[in-house]
Amino acid sequence: MIETDILVIGGSAGGILTATTAKRIYPDKRVVVVRKNKTVMVPCGIPYIFGTLYDTSKNRIHDEMVKSAGVELLIDEVISIDKDKKVAILKSGEEIKWDKLVLATGSLPVIPKWLPGHDLENVFPIIKDEEYLSNMLNKLNEINKVVIIGAGFIGVEFAEQLALAGKSVTLVEIAHKILWQAFDDEFASIAEEDLESHGVTLKLGTKVKAILGNGKVEEVEFETGERVKAEAVILSMGVTPNTELAKQLGLDLTRKGAIVVDEYMRTSAPDIFAVGDCALKRDIFTSRHVPILLASTAAMEAKIAAANLYGIKFIRENRGTVSAFSTKIFGKTYGVAGIIERFAKEDGFDYVIGRAASMDRHPGSLPGAKKIEVKLIFSRTSGVLIGAQVVGGDSVGEMINILSLAIQKGLTANELNTMQVATHPLVTASPVTYPINAAALDALVKICTKC
């Protein structure tokens, strides 16, 4: 029997960072990670295997990061856990006795077993396994017509990458817009225009009735009766928390299956923590359960759990999860944090919008300069920032991180208007028209007008 102080189950972003952080904070503790897969894929990098990297090995999170931190790694699978004896039983028959346990078991792709043809050859759910993805890459290299079902971030990124690879791509979404849960319509429309201008066919407000073929995919039929030819179908219909071990342990779960945790990532059982996709997320403003299943969120949770495994050492103000995302589609970067306007309206917020646009270099005639558009959402009475959306060049990625922090800290339109920024002609917008300041001022004028 192996005896360890800290056992982490799961070796992707959440598990890796929990283990390595715990080893730094508690250097005298033995930390063991058990993961099922021989290699770990960068989750958000998976679409780029198919149009940029063309090689799954270039999308790995390397084990050296874990081993160099002094963490022990076992390639095996935990099949059961005795929480009273604090013993985990592995598929190999080995047993591990632990003092603190962290579940970082991630998520599983939604596979629509109700959909006829979901099990045909060349129907690909997106599974985070290198061998599976390598086989998927080899098959997609040999075909031309691909239908993608689901136009969230992963579906849209797959569409872009396969189009860059020269494939004929049809992107199907049951909602009226792509990325509809992340962006307001005006931002989604920009992405739609770019996709269509690069040859991607969009089928919006469209439900798939069946995937057709004789053993192998040949067509996709919609509820309208229309059919499109397809040699492969990619299922990008979301994910669900992987909580089989949590169920065995009798941990409290939400109605949708996530593990209930407190602000320090503690579960309902003593000495058991959960981080990442398997753990509950609460919206920062409404405390509603939200499916924000991102590696960046997992990383934040991992650091919280690791720091507080042996008593609450780092008191934190946990106002909930900020929905912060970014993506890049045909040269434009999109970022979003907090509440979008559609959801603010549905939830009854009294809000005001601030908008601004500028070039991301100054002067705008500099090579590589791109237009940035910013939309900020503030509480009308308090002036507090509750949401942000940005589209433009590469600087958007870090700009949305600034705005995510601003939301977490409750900054106001006045504070963002007067925020000091470091600018340079070759790397940022002009200090005279810096878009965050300008959008905040636009909102501040509207707030003051109503005073």
* Residue 32, pLDDT score: 98
pLDDT class of 315 with cuts at 50, 70, 90? confident
- Stated pTM of the model: 0.94
Amino acid, res. 320:
G
CATH architecture of 325-450: 2-Layer Sandwich (3.30)
For residue 53, pLDDT beyond 80: yes
Q: Give mean pLDDT, residues 193-202.
A: 98
Spatial distance between the Cα atoms of 374 and 440, rounded to a whole number of angstroms: 10
> Which residue, 158, 150, 146, 58, is CA-closest to 109?
150
When comparing pLDDT for 315 and 202, which is higher? 202
Give the pLDDT confidence of 381-423 residue by residue, as tens digits. Answer: 999 999 999 999 999 999 999 999 999 999 999 999 999 999 9
pLDDT class of 287 with cuts at 50, 70, 90? confident
Is 123-237's fold the same as 325-450's? no
Instruction: Please give the class, per CATH, of domain 2-106+240-307.
Output: alpha beta
| Triad 16, 21, 24: Cα angle to 5° | 135
* Residue 317, pLDDT score: 62
Q: How far are the Cα atoms of 109, 182, 272, 285 from residue 290, in angstroms, in the given order?
A: 17, 12, 22, 11
What are the boundaries of each domain within the chain? 2-106+240-307, 123-237, 325-450
For residue 62, pLDDT beyond 90: yes
* Residue 450, pLDDT score: 60
Spatial distance between the Cα atoms of 214 and 373, rounded to a whole number of angstroms: 48
3-state helix/strand/coil string of 333-391: EEEEEECCHHHHHHCCCCEEEEEEEEECCCCCCCCCCCEEEEEEEEECCCCEEEEEEEE
* Residue 293, pLDDT score: 83
Give the pLDDT confidence of 124-174 residue by residue, as tens digits. Answer: 999 999 999 999 999 999 999 999 999 999 999 999 999 999 999 999 999
Task: Of 89-98, 147-156, 244-253, 421-430, give the lowest mean pLDDT range.
Answer: 421-430
Domain 123-237 bears CATH identifier 3.30.450.20: no
Indicate the average pLDDT of the chain: 95
pLDDT class of 268 with cuts at 50, 70, 90? very high
* Residue 355, pLDDT score: 98
**Residues near 41 by beta carbon (within 8 Å), at least 6 away in sequence:** 56, 59, 60, 61, 128, 129, 130, 133
For residue 449, pLDDT beyond 90: no
* Residue 318, pLDDT score: 60
Task: Of 207-211, 233-237, 319-323, 361-365, give the lowest mean pLDDT range.
Answer: 319-323
pLDDT class of 448 with cuts at 50, 70, 90? confident
Residues catalogued as catalytic: 44
